[in-house]
Structures are given as structure tokens and as C-alpha cells.
Structure 1
Amino acid sequence: MREQLDSLGLCFNWDREVTTCLPDYYRWTQYLFIKLLEAGLAYQKEAVVNWDPVDQTVLADEQVDENGRSWRSGALVEQKLLTQWFIKTTNYAKPLLDALADLPEWYGVKGMQANWIGDCTGCYFDFKIRVNGEETGETLSAYSSSPEMVFGAAYLAILPSHRLLHGSSSVRSVLEKAFQPGKDSLTEVTARNLLTGHQVPLVISHKEAFDGYLDTVIGIPDSSEEDLSLARALDLRWTTVLKSDQEGTQSLINSKEFSGLSRKEAFDSITQKARELKVGGHLTSSKLRDWLISRQRYWGTPIPVVHCGSCGAVAVPEDELPVALPKLPSLTGKGMSPLEAAHDWVNCKCPRPFERHLGDHWLPVDVYIGGKEHAVMHLYYARFLCHFSLLVSFREPFWKLLVQGLIKGQTFKLADSGQYLKRDEIDFTGTQGIPVLAVGGGRIEVTWEKMSKSKHNGLDPQEVVQQYGVDTVRLYILYAAPPEQDILWNVKTDALPGVLRWQSRLWQLVTKLREARQLGDFPNPSHLKKKELAEVKRIWESKNYAIQEVTSHFTEDFLFNAAISRLMGFTNTLNSATVTVMQHSVDFEDALAALVKMTAPMAPHLASELWAGGTCNPVLQQGGDVLQQSWPTVDPEYLKVPDFVQLSVLINNKACGTVTVPLQASKDSEQVQQLILESPLGQKLLRKCSIKRAILSPRTALINFLIDE
């Protein structure tokens, strides 16, 4: 992959590469895990995972196909209960939700995160499980949407799918005896609320799901008719905790020191007390889950915990990090398994202490680049770790977000089974060009999906580079769509011919300048007459406008397709210059130099050739290659000029001229139409026309009038 990236002309400083699978990186993820463990935010419990019985490994959801089979081995995936490590991200749900208000709008990602977190109107409380009055040592967290009424709890309810009924829990056999499918079952197991001290019975619900994604809830008859009905049906006892005065205002009773408080006051006080005692109380939603971080794969980062027979889970001392995996080849040669070599894992170097001033200097990250598939998972967890960490002085880890779309490839799969096919398994010569299975002629579904090895729709970048050239491929990807939109990989679309034509015009432009300069040794501006001077002024204005727009697209909104469009327009302006202007205008050469510099980040190889100007009499060379030049800046004199924009006017998609309009009005379609209709150009070309529609481009200085012919 590094060779492919280099072949695309992407200039990475590999000395600053961060490789997350190497011990010198993941020693710090292990360090953070230990800090989370110390803070009570890392814990273990059994959870259902996707298990591949052939590869003997856990699979992510996306590694299981729509038929429930492993994409690699083809085995039918099993649902298996395994002990997993979790991080209590739910404890930070409310501050993470509230902090979204301080962030800029991120391609709809803020809304996605807010929806993922949900309304933080309830919380969990911790309970200790008991059988025959004896605690088993197991802790169960149960959710309540009315935490202010927790002293009125009548029972704890779990689903039939709960891990206590299916895992290695010590109360499993007791619960199985009581369980009656399709009915609410009252068990001999009880649970002690660690905040209130009250003991309530454990009920196995007849439901398949509670509100949201909950599997354990607190039944409070005062909070809902459903809870009241179940408590009465099972003949349970509970304490009434609400009373209303004559005006209908509710306050608490029978709730110890919280009695007498209004519901709002009790909500705040009870949840705060639970947080102080570390027995729950963190505001979260009924849909948000804690973060499962275990990875049962040999290449995963080892959890830095020693499992002691007498002491339980013990964190590895910080000065013994990283806990690194032994190398498999050395084990294979000795006939050893990874577990047999585990005694060697603790021979590690002492980690360098964290230097806060360096973290505050380099962070937050200037631009986070990722797909929208990370909007509610990776991005959310990164924000959680930053909120949790006391190592840095800021809460939010990223200044800006660039959500890039996917490059999708054409996929072929059997219509009846959904199995993905390779192209060599398909016959494309069928009736009306409809692809069918090469052997047997089975019907095939054709779709566009994210490129993936498992879908056989990937593309080797080096093959495309060899066919079209590096810069053409780069420009095609950037020009085909804004970065946040998907691209369907089909180089026969209009985008590829467009960038090919532009590159040709750039080459012709430098060639024309060289030829014009060969007519005389040095530019002589005194040869420019009034008409040419007006032309030079337009070039100067176009140059400064292009620098403003392209710089903004590069640094603010990342609309690289719009930057290319602006450079294409700037190229057309320069291409229309007369030979005299090319020969004698220093402003023309300066404008062309700016054009090549701004092209360089996107097409570095072409720009370098243009900058060199060929093998003799280089025109644009100003010392060194184009990539060594400073970025062009707007002339101070241009900034003094009132803010106006030169708008290209099209009629039925045909360019007809330009009109200068105030910058403030340039984005208002109605104002722009009125100004153009009042202009000499508009009076000449549009006065007697029936205008069906006027389309103002949101990204380029262009308006297109559609009229009746």
C-alpha cells in the first residue's frame, strides 16, 4: 500500500508515520486502558459475539455476509457468549451530547452523533445479585427513565436473552428453573440497590426487548402503568414515592433525605449522589451501549491485565508497558502456542513519561478525515477518550472534520444466494449486454458498493495509473464530486475527458507563452496599448479572485472539485489573452505562475513540467521546482478594491460574456438575475427573451439562463 500511495504522487513524510499495530504506539493505548481501569470505567462481562468455528475467531458484523456466513472461511457464523472487556462510555453520554453544541456543523455528523447518543433522560443504578440472602459477587446495572423514583422500585426485570440465563453466571441454574417462556417469571434471585439499600426480586420478562436496546430495567409502579400492572400481577410490594398537592405539583415521599424535594430537584440530587458513591447515576439514554473493545485475534493489541487466580484482574504496572505479542514465526519453530510463550511478554522497556506541553502544542488535530461510517463509532469513542483524559487541557480532539465519500466499485452477485462473484466468473456477452453466470447462466444482480476484497470489486491504483497517468487519476478523483460525496468508479464519465482537456490547455498555455517570448528577449510593458492594458487588468483581477477562491477551498470547505473548476475558468481567461499581452505583460506571467502553483498540489508532476517550461529557455522558473515555491497570495491592492465578482453568463449552456456584480449579492439568485438584466449584456441578449429558469452556481461565479429558443 505504501508503494501504491507513493505511485500516486502523495507526498507523505514516512518518518512521521504512526503505525497503530506497533508496540511503540499501542503502549499508550494500553496506558489509557489502565487509567480507565483505575477510574472504574473498564470492566468485564459476557456478551454475544459472532464466532467463526473454522477460523476460531470473533468476527465484526461487516465480516458476516447476508446469509450469516464468514466472508473468509464461508462457515456458518455462531452466536457465542464470551467474556469481553467494555468501557463505560455511557458515563460520559450527557457531556458528549451537550458538547456537540460547541462544534461547527460537520456534514450532518453532529446530528448523527446526537441521534446515536439519544436523549439522556435516565441513568443506570448498580445492584448486587443475591440468592437465598447471600450475595454472589455479581453486579448488575439496571436502567431507569425515572431515577428520581428509584426508592419506589418493586422489581428488577431482565430479558429471556440476558447473559445471566445463558452464560457462566452462578445464578443461571436458579433462573432457568423459574423461566417460563411467554410469561413474566418471578425468580428466587433478588438484587440489592447499592444506592437505596432496598432489596427487590429479579423478574424474567416475557418480552423480547425493552425500550431502546436495554436488557435490564428497574420496575417502578409510580412511574408507569405497565410497571404497576406487572407488580400487581406478581403480587409484589413497593413503596409509594410521589404525592401531589392541590395544584398538581408532585414531590417525593418515602425517599430518605430526598423526601420533600420536587421531582426535578430529586432527579438532580439522586443522580448526583449515585455518581458520588460510584453506584451509577450518570445520565444517558436507553439506546446507548458501552463500548466493547475486546478483539479475539492474534494481531489485536493485548489488554494489559494479568488474570490472577486469587486477586482477579490486575493491571500490568505502567513501567512494564507495552505488553507486546510474541512473534508467531519464533513460536512455530519451537512448536509453541502463543499462550505457552506468554511468560516472555513482561520483558519491556520503561515508557517515556507523557509531556503535557507537547500534547497541548500538537493537539487538537487540525483536520480529522474519515468516512461517515465512523461518525457514530470511532469519532464518538475518540471524543470520549478526550473528555475522559486529564492529560491534556482541551475537551474536543478535532478542530475540523472532513467526511470523505466512498469510491464505489461495480459488484456482481448471484440473485438467489447473494454470493459475490469475480469478473472472470461472469459472461458479459449475453442478450442485450445483461451479465449472467458464465457456468450455468444464473441471474446476476449488479450494484455499486464500497470497494472490498470480499466483494471482488476493488481496483489496483497502479493499474489505473499505468493506463491514464498519475495526475489524470488524481484530478479525476478530485473533480468527479465534492469530497463528501460517493464516486462510482467509471472513468468513462464526463469527469475524465474534462480533466484531460484541462491538462492539455495548461500545456498549450505554457507553450504559447514560450513562443510569444521567443519573439523578443524581454517583456516591455510600454508596448501595451489601452485595449491590452484593460485585458491585463482583467487577468490581474481574475488571478486574485482565483487565489481567494482556491485558497478558501483548500483550507476551509475542502471543495477540491470547485477549486479545479475555478482553475479551469482561470485557465480559459489566460488562454484568451492576445499574443502582445503574453509577450509584454509581466502580470500575465505572474498570473500563469500562480495558476501552476495552485495546480501543483493536485497535479504535481504536470505542474513541475510546466514550471520547468521544457528543456530550454524556461519561462516560469523562479528558483527551484514548483513544489518549493510559496503559495500565491492576494495582492494588497486587490483587497482595497470594493468587493465585486466577475460572473460568467451562460444562455442555454452557451457562454455569452461576463458581468461584474457586488460580492454580497453574488450568492443571491434573485439579485444576480436583476443586476444582469439591467446590465448592457443583459439588455442586449435577454431583454426580449422568455426566461424559463436561471441557475446560479453555488461554487463557481457562473449563472445559466434557460430561455425559449
Structure 2
Amino acid sequence: MLQVGKSKFYVLSMFPYPSGKLHMGHVRVYTIGDAIAHFHRLQGKKVLHPMGWDAFGLPAENAALEHDLDPEIWTNSNITHMREQLKNLGFCFDWHREITTCRPDYYKWTQYLFVKLFEAGLAYQKEAIVNWDPMDKTVLADEQVDEAGCSWRSGARVEQRFIKHTCFKPQKSSLYFHKYLPEWYGVKSMQANWLGDCSGCRLHFALLVSLWYHKGKSVFLFHSCLFSKSYKSILFGTCCVVPAGILLGVKAVHPLTMQQLPVVISLKDTLEDHVDCMIGFHPPSNIFIFCLLVEQFSGFERTKAAEAVMQYARDLCVGGHPTSTKLRDWLVSRQRYWGTPIPIVHCPSCGPVAVPVTDLPVHLPNISHLSEKGGSPLKSAHHWLHCSCPRCGSKAQRETDTLDTFVDSAWYFLRYTDPHNTQRPFDKVVADTWMPVDVYVGGKEHAVMHLYYARFLCHFCNDMGLLSHREPFKKLIVQGLIKGQTFWVPSTRRYVQKACVEFTGGLSVLKKNGERVVITWEKMSKSKQNGVDPSEAFGQYGCSTVRLWLLYTGPPEQDLLWDVQSDKLTGVLRWQKRLWMLVTQLREVRACGTIPNPSCLSSADQKIVNGLRDNKNLTIEMVMPDNFLYHLLYFMLFLITKLTSEKVLFFETYSPFVTISFLGAGLCSVTNKQSTCYDWKSTVLQQRWPVMDSFHCVQINNKSCGRLAMAACVARDADAVRALVEHSDIGKRLLTGQTVTRTILSPRTNLVNFLVH
């Protein structure tokens, strides 16, 4: 829990898949998050900065198949290695909050949320045509298939298969609140394009088939098909349908009028010839239902009519929730082993039944050998597969599909707030204390699906009373890519290593045959042979230098070009050495007992001091939490070191920069610690963030004489204030030859008064 009087700040970096090795993309995202965490911690806030592992998924399962290993052993070994890498980099993660999605103490609560969704009617199972990845042998959600019809992960051409699968219904919550999202660096528009226009509502129709009702089917009712193009009010007309298109033997019962209506099959999403009819559309089966209302909404203005119809449907509990023409239900089941078991039991009498919460978790069983053939590997775990129905006690079988890893990552930010809770996913009071996440740092490739799914789960938790907040994230920082230099041969379109290329006369050619080579900058990957192992750069320059370069080179959202041979990293290293020389000079001067007196400075030295103060104030002003322009910070620090001379070593002037840069370890051994701007008993990471100099009104014998900028630490010390004012233009003009009998500092206002005679 938070300490009394302290404000909170929750900074979250997207947790990694434990592949076993960090890459430069990891280093950049965690460097950005770490700098933000330090910034707010130095401002006196209680900061939550957690780390964990998105540990389920196909990569581990495929690696297990390839190396004949247990996926759990493979995953845990990688986690151990990557955790050590992150610790060696000095990131200030709250390791006592570490979570791992493949462990029962985490996926128990993923299953708990699934059961709650199932009980609320937001999770269901059905048989339908789905996207099948023939390489990974699993189904894919529509959003995981690219425009070319290929899998987002394997790149294989996706096939269409008719199988049973599990879905969530996210339309009922998140979409409706989409308009309240912040802009998020263009992510809002990306989500809007993906989700489509919220131009319709969902209604629940009962289908009358052979004189019996089959409830629970849904159709979409689109506003674009509700109203005439020529009028602003609803028109009612006769439904003119092609007889051959009518689905014989089936009637739809309109939920608002209870009329029995014909069901028509069509491949079109809209019927332009029937714009003055109400048209319902069920995307998976392409069923259109033509229907008429009672005349109670006739004559309404377009927008008011739509809201009235939806509210009427909600009052009758037959739907009425906003939806779009693009958005589909979220397909969450996968036919693979290494994932969260879906807590459903299939009973011949009761149908699909959710596992009781008291029986969770449904443990993932140990399987001695993973099959490479299609179908769920869990079907081979006979000792695990057969069970009793929780409802009637008869013989039943467990669900053999597992959940998509996107489900695991859709709520992990909530578990971080209360990671050791054994009674519930998280305590509401604790979660409400930390939520929402103040800053979320991650890649743009997750800006649509992951963020939308996370919003859906957060809205659901709010609806269930588990959480007070609906939106999970306040601000999103999308970090740019780190691109490596690539070398490819046009004749073969194959990538080659830089060592194979010769640079002569401004041209790049293959060493072996002189063939021309094209040089480009692309996202780092093994296939393009342009990846960089972070350990190489760390070994040559040190992790502090590399992290500093990542912040200094450009704003977080900008793509960076990585070339370890360039002078960029060496330039940052030179800057670090120059700053360290600043601290060394201070130590040497103070060791000699020399403490400069501001009143004894020459005009040239005073000009330097004024320049330092101006740059300090400008730097502090530029580096604020809302803009994250960290590269400006380091640029200003570079300028400051150029202004410093050995004669002018006033710690009050430049100590804030030492704190900001986190390079002040050497200050601990300074003798003659005169300054009040630095907490000498604490480490540099425990200092307070520096504040800008404030302007104080200077009075002499209660008469105002002008204004003067001074640091907060100086303003609290009467002797320091007197020395500063005496050396200023005001002091030289009005205090020279005067005897100051008393210096009065106002406790409530920026005012200093000198009594003289």
C-alpha cells in the first residue's frame, strides 16, 4: 500500500516472451521505462515498476518439439537467464512483484476470469468456419491473419476449416467507450480503423425451427440500413425479398415486436435496395433478417431514433449494445499444449459446463511426448481428460483447447498490483490504489489487438465490481524500432554479413566476386543478418553508456539506426567522462579546503555562473513528465560541461545535473560538504528531483528593489541568500558600503528583506 501523503505512479513496460536472449528492442523499451520510473521516484512519488514473463505460447512448444524437451523446462531456463541479464543492466524493477503466466498461481486467475466471462454470457463455444494455420496447427483470430491471407506468426497461407472453438464477446463494453480514449500517438485512430464504425447495435433473435425455439442466436442491426437516404425519420415499407433466397423451415422472432419473420441468405453486407427496412446481419453465417418495428419510433430524428431503439432493446434485455460492421467476436481457443487450459467440462447431458471456481486451477498435465500432428495434444493425456460433470456428476471430458496468450496478457497489469494474493486475482482496494497505469511503454505492433483486449478485460472487471476503473492506461508511449544496417545482393536477393562486403571508391561489393551490394536500414532480425547482441555493445562501452545513447539520440517514438562503429556511442562516452571530471574537480578543490566565495568572483567567472544557472533552469523546464524529451536533458548537460571552469565550482549551481544524470556516486567522498542542495547521507538515486530557480522579491528596509532568481536550497539559507544578493547587480548597486544588520526570509512567499543602516 502507499505511504500516507505520497502520490502513486504506475509505469509499465510490456513484459517479454522468455526467448532466452535480450535484443536491443528489449533494452530500449526498458531503458525508457526505467528513466520514467527514476524521474517520478526522485519527485517523491511511490512508484510501481514491475516485470514478469509472457511465458506461454507456440515458440516454447516448437522449441520443445525440436529439442525433445519439456516446454516448462525450456521456458524456466530462459527466464532465469533473461532475469539475470535485466538485473545486470541495472533496471529498477520491483522483482518481488515478478509474475510468470505459465505458472498455476497466475493461470488459475486467468481461468477464474474465463469462468466469470462464461457465466456472464461473454464467453461461449460454437462450431463454425475458422482460420487454420497449417504450420502451427492451430486456429487464428481474424486479427491474426494479414491482408495476404497469411498467419501473423508463421507466415503460412491460412486455410478455412469447420471446427469447434471458443470466443469472447468484446463488443458489449470496450467499443462503446472508444470515443473516450486519449489520442495515444495515433493509436486511437489505428484502433478506430480496425474496430470500424460503431454504427449499429446487437439484438438477440430466437430462431423458430420446426416449431421449437432455439435461443441465444444473435444478429446485428445496422443504422446504415435502418433509415431512408432521403428522410431523417424511420420509414416502414414492405420487405421485398427474392423467393429463392428465403431459408425454408426457419423463422426469426423479432425481439421487439415478437413477429415471426423470414430468414434470407445473402452474401452481401448491405442491401442498397432496401434501405428503408430494418436489416439484421449475422457475419459468420451471412444471414440477413428483414424486420419491421411497431410505429412508436416513427418520426424520430435519426440519432435519437437509434438511441431510442437501443435503449428499448436494453430495457427488454434483448441486446441493444453498440457494435460495428468490422468487429468480430474474439476467438481465444488454440489447439496446442503450452497454454492456459480452458476450464470447461463437456457433459453428454448438461453440455459445456464451467469448472467451479473452487476447483481451480485446472492444471496443465505433463505430457511425455508432444505430437507433431494436428489436433490438441491434450487429447493424449487420458488420465487428465476424463472427469465428472460438476453439475450432474456423470462421466464427462475436459476441454482440450488452451487459451491464446493474448488472454494471459490482457490482465497482467492488474495482477502486478497484488501478485501474491491467493484468494482472488487481485484485491480491489489494492488495485484501485495503483490503477490506472500512468504510462505504458511498448511496441506499436501491439497497439491494436493487445490494447483492445486489455481494455475489454478491464471493462469487464469494472462491470463485475472487481475494479473501480474502466480504462486501464492513461498514457501510451510507443517506442520506435532499432534498425540495423543490412547488406543484400540484388541478383539473388539474399542478405549477407557485413564481413563479406568490401567498400571501395564509394561502392559496396562482395569480396568474393565483386558483385554489387545494396545497403539499407531495416528492423533487426536473424534472417536479415543485421541483429546486434546487446552484450557486445555493453562489453565495449558499458551498459550506462548504451542506455544513455538510447535516450540521448532521439525521442522514444523515433526509429534509431544502430551502428556500433559510428562516433555516436563514443560521443556519449566522452560526455560521460567530461561530467565525471566535473565531480572530480569538485572533490579536489574541496579536499584542499577551498570553498569559493561568490563575492570574490571576477566578472568573467560570474558570467559563467549565470550561464550555468540559466542552462539549469532551462533543462529542468524542458525535462517534464508530459513530454519525455530526455535527449534534450543530455544535450543541455553537454553544454553545461563546456561552460564549467576550474575556478567556478559552485556545487549549488550544477549539483542538480549530477542528480539528473545519475552519475553522482563520487559525490559521497567530497569533503567540506557545504551545500544544502544535496542529501549527503543518501545515494544519488535517493535524491529529490531538482526544481527550477524561483524569482524572489528583494527588499531593502522594506522597500522593493527588484527580483532575483535563486535555487530552492539557497532560498532556505539566510547566509547563502545574502551572499547571492550581495554579488548580484542589485547588491552591488544598493548594498555596497552598507551594513546588513538582519536578513529576513519569508516562510510563505518568495521574499527576502535586508535591514541595513
In the other structure, the counterpart of 2:436 is: 364
Q: Give the 3 Å change call, closer, same or farther, for CA 467–546 of structure 1 in structure 2.
A: same
**Please, which of 539, 547, 562 is the counterpart of residue 474 of structure 1?**
547
Partner SS for 1:581: coil
Change (3 A) 1:545 1:16: same
Deviations 1:585-627 (A, max 9, x none): xxx2233332221111xxxxxx15544579x999999235423
Q: 1:621 to 1:387 in 2, by over 3 A?
A: closer
Query: CA separation of 1:342/1:612 partners in 2, compared to 1, >3 Å: closer, same or farther?
Result: farther
SS of aligned partner of 1:306: strand
User: 1:139-190 CA distances to partner (integer Å, 9 max, x unpaired)?
Assistant: 2423423457698684899xxxxxxxxxxxxxxxxxxxx9xxxxx8444353
What corresponds to 1:633 in structure 2? 691
Counterpart in the other structure of 2:455: 383
1:276 CA drift (Å)? 3.1
Report sequence identity in percent.
Answer: 48
How many residues are matched?
564
Residue 204 (structure 2) pairs with residue 126 (structure 1): yes
Query: Residue 539 and residue 132 in structure 1: after superposition, are their counterparts in 2 closer, same or farther (change >3 A)?
Result: same
CA 1:364–1:460 in 2, change beyond 3 Å: closer, same or farther? same
Cα offset, 1:456, TM superposition = 5.3
Question: For 1:222 and 1:495, how far apart are their aligned partners in 2?
Answer: 65
SS at match of 1:630: coil
Of 27-36 and 440-449, the range deviating more from structure 2: 440-449
What is the Cα deviation at residue 296 of structure 1?
Answer: 3.1
Aligned residue for 1:198? 259
Matching of residue 313 in structure 1 with residue 352 in structure 2: yes
Match of 1:12 in 2: 93
Query: What is the rounded CA distance, in whole Å, between the counterparts of 2:209 and 2:542 in structure 1?
Result: 72
3-state SS in 2 of match to 1:299 = coil
For residue 393 of structure 1, what is the amino acid of its counterpart? S
Q: Is the 8 A contact 2:442 2:478 kept in 1?
A: yes
Is the partner of 2:477 in helix, strand or coil?
strand
Q: CA offset at residue 88 of structure 1?
A: 1.7
Q: Tell me by how many angstroms 1:354 deviates.
A: 5.0
Q: Which moved more, 1:58-67 or 1:496-505?
A: 58-67
Match of 1:117 among 191, 195, 200: 195
Q: Does 1:341 align with 2:399?
A: no
Summarize the Cα distance change of 1:11–1:350 in structure 2 as closer, same or farther, 3 Å threshold: closer
Task: Name the aligned partner's letter for residue 297 of structure 1.
Answer: R
User: Which residue among 184, 207, 210 is the counterpart of 1:106?
Assistant: 184
| Contact 1:129-1:140 at 8 Å conserved across structures | no
Give yes or no for contact 2:583–2:666 (8 Å, CA) kept in 1: yes
Distance 1:470 1:32 in 2: 40
Whether contact under 8 Å (1:194, 1:279) holds in the other structure is no
Q: Secondary structure of 2:564's partner?
A: coil
* Contact 1:50–1:77 (Cα < 8 Å) also in 2: yes
In 1, Cα distance between the equivalents of 2:157 and 2:192?
A: 35
Contact 1:540–1:591, Cα closer than 8 Å, also in 2: yes
Could you say which residue in structure 1 is the equivalent of 2:7?
none
Partner of 1:599 in structure 2? 661
Measured in 1, the distance between the counterparts of 2:151 and 2:558 equals 30
- Alignment match of 1:292 (pick from 300, 309, 331): 331
Is the 8 Å Cα contact of residues 226 and 276 (structure 2) preserved in structure 1? Answer: no
Letter in 1 for 2:652: D
Measured in 2, the distance between the counterparts of 1:237 and 1:84 equals 25
| Superposed displacement of residue 452, structure 1 | 4.4
Kept in 1, the 8 Å contact 2:174–2:455? The answer is: no
8 Å Cα contact 2:140/2:331 also seen in 1: no
Residue 590 of structure 1 is aligned with which of 652, 656, 676? 652
Equivalent residue for 1:581, pick from 648, 651, 660: 648
Q: CA deviation at 1:536?
A: 2.9
Task: Decide whether aligned partners of structure 1 residues 92 and 441 sit closer, same or farther in structure 2, where only a CA change above 3 A counts.
Answer: farther
Displacement of 1:283: 1.8
**Residue 123 of structure 1 aligns to a residue in which SS?**
strand
1:214 is matched with none
Q: Provide the rounded CA distance (Å) in 1 between the counterparts of 2:177 and 2:379.
A: 46
CA offsets per residue over residues 194-248 of structure 1, 9 Å max, x none?
41333444444355xx36xxxxx899452499x9xxxxxxxx9978x6xxxxxxx
Task: Provide the C-alpha distance between the structure 1 equivalents of 2:131 and 2:248, rounded to a whole number of angstroms.
Answer: 32
Query: Which residue is 2:575 aligned to?
Result: 502
Give the aligned partner of residue 489 of structure 1: 562
Among 618, 634, 647, the alignment partner of 1:564 is 634
Q: Cα offset for 1:4?
A: 2.4
Select which of 29, 44, 51 maps to 2:125. Answer: 44
Answer yes or no: is the 8 Å Cα contact 1:594–1:632 preserved in 2.
Answer: yes
Q: Please name the residue that 1:409 is paired with.
A: 484
- Aligned in 2, Cα 1:422/1:529: closer, same or farther, shift over 3 Å? closer
In 2, Cα distance between equivalents of 1:494 and 1:470: 17
Q: Could you tell me how far 1:113 is from its partner in structure 2?
A: 2.9
Partner Cα separation in structure 2 for residue 467 and residue 392 of structure 1: 47
Instruction: Please give the residue correspondences for 1:510-659 in structure 2 after superposition, counting only pairs within 5 Å.
Output: 510-517=583-590, 520-525=593-598, 527-550=600-623, 552=624, 555-573=625-643, 575=644, 577=645, 579-582=646-649, 588-600=650-662, 607=663, 610-611=666-667, 622-637=680-695
Distance 2:526 2:144 in 1: 11
Distance verdict in 2 for CA 1:451–1:202, change over 3 Å = farther
Letter in 1 for 2:476: L
Deviation at 1:36, TM superposition (A): 2.1
- Secondary structure of the residue that 1:409 maps to in structure 2? strand
What is residue 699 of structure 1 aligned with on the other side? none
Task: Identify which range, 56-65 or 11-20, moves more after superposition.
Answer: 56-65
1:473 is displaced (CA, Å) by 0.9
| Cα distance in 1 for residues equivalent to 2:154 and 2:366 | 24
Q: Who is 1:398 aligned against?
A: 473
Corresponding residue for residue 373 of structure 1: 445
- Separation in structure 2 between the aligned mates of residue 468 and residue 288 of structure 1, nearest angstrom: 49
What is the aligned counterpart of 1:85 among 146, 166, 181? 166
1:465 positional shift: 0.9
Alignment of 1:674-685 (within 5 A): none
Asked if the contact 2:481–2:523 (Cα under 8 Å) also holds between the matched residues in 1, the reply is: yes
| Distance of 1:127 and 1:94 partners within structure 2 | 22
Q: Distance between the aligned counterparts of 1:237 and 1:126, measured in 2?
A: 12
Residue identity opposite 1:300 in structure 2: G
What TM-score comes out, normalization by structure 2 length? 0.63
Distance 1:98 1:474 in 2: 37
Question: Structure 1 residues 154, 630: closer, same or farther in 2, change over 3 A?
Answer: same
On the 8 A contact 1:117/1:288 being kept in 2, the answer is yes
Distance 1:517 1:397, change over 3 A: same
Amino acid at match of 2:469: F
Alpha-carbon distance in structure 2 between the residues aligned to 1:318 and 1:206: 42
CA distance, structure 1, for counterparts of residue 147 and residue 297 of structure 2: 52
CA distance in 2, matches of 1:130, 1:444: 68
SS of residue matched to 2:106: helix
Relative distance call for 1:52 and 1:316 in structure 2 (3 A) is same
Over the residues paired in the alignment, what is the CA RMSD in angstroms?
4.7
Q: How many angstroms does 1:474 deviate by?
A: 0.7
- Give the counterpart of 1:283 among 322, 342, 348: 322
Q: Distance in 2 between matches of 1:599 and 1:378?
A: 34
Q: Is 1:222 the counterpart of 2:276 in the alignment? A: yes
- Contiguous gaps of at least 5 residues in structure 1: 158-177, 179-183, 212-216, 228-235, 242-253, 583-587, 601-606, 646-709
Q: Where in structure 2 are the equivalents of 1:229-308 lying within 5 Å?
A: 255=294, 257-258=296-297, 264-308=303-347
SS in 1 for 2:202: strand
| AA partner of residue 398 (structure 1) | F
- The structure-2 alpha-carbon separation of the partners of 1:189 and 1:547, relative to structure 1 and needing over 3 Å to count, comes to same
Change (3 A) 1:527 1:521: same
Report the Cα distance in structure 1 between the residues aligned to 2:317 and 2:511, rounded to whole angstroms.
61
